[in-house]
Every structure is written in C-alpha cells, then in structure tokens.
Structure 1
C-alpha cells in the first residue's frame, strides 16, 4: 500500500519563502541569474553569488537553479518540443520518476517551479530514495487519462533501478496501465537519463535530457494545467508574481 508519509516536496517554510516580498526578491534574483547565464558564467557560481546577494535560503537557491536556463538553451529546447497533436503518431518514451514525482508534488500542494524554458520542475530532491505515497495512484491515473485523450498508441516508461522502490513503482504503473487502452512497458535501467540521449518523442522535464534528446513533449505542463487546477506554480517570469500563493489546505 502507498505510504501516507505526508506531502511530496513540501517544506514548512515554503509559505514564507515563496510568497509576497520573498517571492518578489526571488523574481529579481532570477533576472540576475538569467543575465549572467547569457554571458557564459557557470550556473553553480551564479547561484552562489546571487543567493548571497539576495540572502536566499538553500531551498530558494535550489528553486532558482531549477528555473535557470540560458536564452540559447531555451531556444533549443523549445524548437525540439513537439505539439501535443503529434503524440498520436508514435510511442512516447517517458522519464518515469521525473514525470510521476512532479505530479505527486503538484497534487500535494507543494511548490512547482516554472522554468524559463516553460518546463515545470519540483523541489522534492529525493536523490535516490523514493516511496509510493497517497498521491501516486492519482498521478498515474492522470497520466493514463492524458495519454488516452492524446490517443497515444504506446508508451515505454524508464525507471532508475538503483532508486529505492523502483520495482514497486513498476508494478503500480503496469497495474494502472491495464485501464489505459494501449500497450505499456516499464523498463528498469541503471541510469534512465542516458536512455533518452539522441531519442525522439521523449517525456521529461530534466534539463540534461532536454538538451540531449532529439524531440520531447512537455507533458507535465499539460497534465497539471488540465487536471490539477489548484497546483501551486511559481513563475519567476510572470508579471503577476506577487499574486502567486499556495493552494488552501
């Protein structure tokens, strides 16, 4: 059974770190980060410098890093992004943990960061540890619903085998997929990221994957936008940055 170990990707200080003046300060820091990235400075050095300047917490700095990409990266990623109408033309290759965890975080009401490249990313930072939670079943249901509505003919999920409970997640995906009306495979591999290098029709929000795959779908954006209306999405590029707030619980 899934664990009820609380929200995925939440922190008790999020309401202070990602609302009001703190959020406006983060938006200003994000502009600085983007400016420095476009001038060739290294990401880690930029985050350290900007974080110190704006007196940001480690979690706020992580949010900045998750949102950061250069103009060149943004252009390349967006040019490789496929329209959702193309999903029906072939198999989708899914970065399983990446997509599922992002949806679990959104369903938990925890902050989701919208990057400059238009991709939604979470702050869960599980780093090799994973357990099924109450939101896992709902996340899988939403994935199946989206795949059916897009008339996807087939899907292959790749999961990192060294991550804890990857076998249990594989079993859960296959169980849910019985209702998806399409062939679904789940493949355990030592490193899922490398499977997508040079591949077309990838589903992922991982920056490294997006920079190395040939084409991709921004499926997390569609699923959250269509089905999780109360998700807490933080967009540092938004002109209404001060209006963003966590969902009520």
Structure 2
C-alpha cells in the first residue's frame, strides 16, 4: 500500500506508551539498559532483559534503543558537543534525514525522545522512500532561521542518494536557501555516514549535525541541531526526557 501520510504525527499507540505515568518506568529502564551496556553486555540481550523486566511494549523498547548508551560513550559524546556560538565562521555538515525527520516529527506532535547524551531523536522508521509532509517546509524554515542566527560560514546538507525523493528534497532545500540567502549546499551521496565520520580527522574545524550514535562515537565535533531547533521554535513539542540529567518528564 502506498504511503499517503500528510504529516508525521503521533503513532496511535504512543498516547499509552508514553503517558506521564509511563515515563518514570521508561527512565528506570533506560538507566538499567545503559548500565548493562556500560559493562559490555550485548545490545540485543540487554534490551530483552530490561524490556521483559518492565513489561515494555515494542514502541517503548524502540525508545530505549534510541536513548540508552554506555556511560563511557555518553561522556565522550558530551565532551565533543559544540555550543551554538562556536559554529560561527565554521562549516556545519548536516546529516540531512536524521535532523529533518526529528524536527518534522516535533512539529507534527509526535513523540521525540531526549536521550542520555542529550540528543533529540524521533521514533520514525526511515525507509527507502522519503515523502514530503505538511511539516517539511516549516521544518526547513526553522532549521534555516536557527542556523542563520549563529552564522556558520557554510552549511552542507548530506542526503542519501538511494532514498527515493532525495533529489526533490535537495531542490526544496536549495529553494529555501536562495529565498533567504542562506549559505547552503546540498550533496546527494551514496551514504553520508563515512563522510561525516571523516570530519573527526579534518583540521578545518567542521562541525557535524546529527544524532546518529554510530557517527558520534567516531569522534567528530558535533552540534545537537535538532534539539536546539525544537527547543527554540517548537515550544509545544512532545518531548519524553530520558536524559542522564533529566527528571524523566513527558512534555506535551
């Protein structure tokens, strides 16, 4: 069946899975899963153990996968995080779908998760097809306005060429940049990950904008772009806070 969704709103099960009463349970589960990962236990076995112990549903287990991280990795990630003021005059390399989908989800009223590394992540399942929704243009606009405030020298969006409609999305990004005189470029590449990982060894001071743990753990300086944009311009976002310093609150 073709995807005919017009927005990235909340999943039908999320009202129950992420109700206020569920958040303290999820926070304890996230702490326990992170504890196990910190001691070298396997991801799959640890998630099953914790999920079964707390009788978590599938969506809740997916949330833990997005949010939990070994303590050593969490500390290392936070040490390399770049503050907004520090991107002035530098290039920002955006993991395009990773950032855009999270901001779209927040605008649509879907759950977004604040993980233990303080990044925001959505629960959308990325497929081989990207579909423009009602939130696409507003999300691009909010990202652009936030970046313009902090004045990076250049912003380069990296999109996965194999994903259907990446070319169209590249065009919409280019149109927005031209309309506002934003210093943007868009690159369609087979896989953005190795390019963004390589920024860890670049002397030019490039900053990577992503919440992808596989990229963050390779050491590039990174910007929590989705988190900053949502905090600044989506005040009514449904944020479930499972961060290491959070109170486990659910803000809807």
In the other structure, the counterpart of 2:137 is 137
- SS of 2:113's equivalent in the other structure is strand
Instruction: Answer with 7-16 or 216-225: which moved more.
Output: 7-16
Inter-CA distance 240–68: structure 2 relative to 1 (3 Å threshold): closer
**Shift in Å at residue 216 of structure 1?**
1.0
**Shift in Å at residue 8 of structure 1?**
1.2
Point out where structure 2 has 5 or more consecutive residues left out of the alignment. Answer: 200-205
In the other structure, the counterpart of 1:232 is 238
Kindly indicate whether the alpha-carbon contact (under 8 Å) linking 1:30 and 1:236 is maintained by their aligned counterparts in 2.
yes
For 2:174 and 2:30, how far apart are their aligned partners in 1?
Answer: 40
In the other structure, the counterpart of 1:182 is 182
In the other structure, the counterpart of 2:113 is 113
For 2:39 and 2:100, how far apart are their aligned partners in 1?
Answer: 34
For 1:221 and 1:239, how far apart are their aligned partners in 2?
Answer: 14
Inter-CA distance 15–53: structure 2 relative to 1 (3 Å threshold): same
Inter-CA distance 76–101: structure 2 relative to 1 (3 Å threshold): same
In the other structure, the counterpart of 2:45 is 45
With normalisation by structure 2, the TM-score equals 0.91
In the other structure, the counterpart of 1:217 is 223
Deviations along 1:221-246, whole A, 9 cap, x unmatched? 111111110011111246643x5243
**Shift in Å at residue 134 of structure 1?**
0.6
Inter-CA distance 239–138: structure 2 relative to 1 (3 Å threshold): closer
Point out where structure 1 has 5 or more consecutive residues left out of the alignment. Answer: none
**Shift in Å at residue 183 of structure 1?**
2.5
- SS of 2:185's equivalent in the other structure is strand
Kindly indicate whether the alpha-carbon contact (under 8 Å) linking 2:33 and 2:47 is maintained by their aligned counterparts in 1.
yes
Inter-CA distance 33–9: structure 2 relative to 1 (3 Å threshold): farther
Inter-CA distance 177–84: structure 2 relative to 1 (3 Å threshold): same
**Shift in Å at residue 102 of structure 1?**
0.6
For 1:82 and 1:21, how far apart are their aligned partners in 2?
Answer: 34
In the other structure, the counterpart of 1:75 is 75
Deviations along 1:101-152, whole A, 9 cap, x unmatched? 0100000110001110000000001232210101000000001101110112
In the other structure, the counterpart of 1:170 is 170
For 1:148 and 1:110, how far apart are their aligned partners in 2?
Answer: 26
For 2:247 and 2:118, how far apart are their aligned partners in 1?
Answer: 16
With normalisation by structure 1, the TM-score equals 0.92
For 1:88 and 1:23, how far apart are their aligned partners in 2?
Answer: 37
Kindly indicate whether the alpha-carbon contact (under 8 Å) linking 2:216 and 2:222 is maintained by their aligned counterparts in 1.
yes
For 1:41 and 1:9, how far apart are their aligned partners in 2?
Answer: 34
Kindly indicate whether the alpha-carbon contact (under 8 Å) linking 1:19 and 1:245 is maintained by their aligned counterparts in 2.
no
